[in-house]
Amino acid sequence: FQPKFLAGLKLLVTAGPTFERIDAVRGITNSSSGKMGYAIARAAFEAGAEVTLISGPTMLPTPTGVRRIDTVSAQDMLAAVNGEITHQDIFVSVAAVADYYVLNPSEQKIKKDAHILTLELAPNPDILANVASVANPPFCVGFAAESENLLEFAEAKRRRKKLPLLVANLVQTAIGADDNEVILLDDDGQHRLPRANKSDLARSIVKHMARLYNRYHPE
């Protein structure tokens, strides 16, 4: 039995990587299994929220009770988020969105030859920053995976994207694993959650999120 911290609230979560097409068979992507984001979706549903999960390509089954929308590229994910964001109370951005897409991808499979192939990359939109900067945004929660200077880089992201809550984790231990350890960053400071499996960790993150949401939205 889980306490219904999020009863009556609508929550949108992104999870997994995005895939940016180079040609008919190739692409560039970020490393992400989707496990952390799917665990957040599951925990939020257990906590009573109406949950929509916008997923990049993963091998994971849809959590019970969760509505899932599949996407491939960052542009697809942005369009899906924009289509769902109205009336959402909480937006949790766990996806590892590719920062660049390939300009002019080829319809056909590019043939291999002895020459150096140069790809032109253009920056993708920042989905979370877009959502957080609208008038009356939902309560926005970001994630940051860093390979060094975790707290410094993560707190800088939280401030730049104007987020009440950001979940910081280390690339080396977070991606693909069944367990994780995170530090929650909010206006009160840092809250360390010790290593646990992603399902238990997601429940703790959702509990903290609900407490902060209620502080920002007193009845």
Cβ atoms within 10 Å of 75's Cβ, excluding its own: 15
CA distance 167 to 205: 8
Q: Does 32 bind ligand PMT (CB under 6 A)?
A: yes
CA distance 111 to 211: 55
- When binding is defined by CB under 6 A, the residue of 55, 73, 88, 124 that contacts ligand PMT is 124
Measured from the CB of residue 205, what is the shortest distance to ligand PMT in angstroms? 10
What is the full DSSP assignment across 113-169?
-SSPP---EEEPP-HHHHHHTSSSPPEEEEEEEESSSHHHHHHHHHHHTT-SEEEEE
- When binding is defined by CB under 6 A, the residue of 49, 95, 165, 201 that contacts ligand PMT is 95
User: Looking at 31-39, 46-54, 103-111, 112-120, which segment touches ligand PMT (CB under 6 A)?
Assistant: 31-39
Measured from the CB of residue 110, what is the shortest distance to ligand PMT in angstroms? 25
Tell whether residue 186 is among the known ligand binding residues.
no
Residues annotated as binding site for CTP?
99, 109, 125-128, 143, 157, 161
Hey, which residues are catalytic here? 30
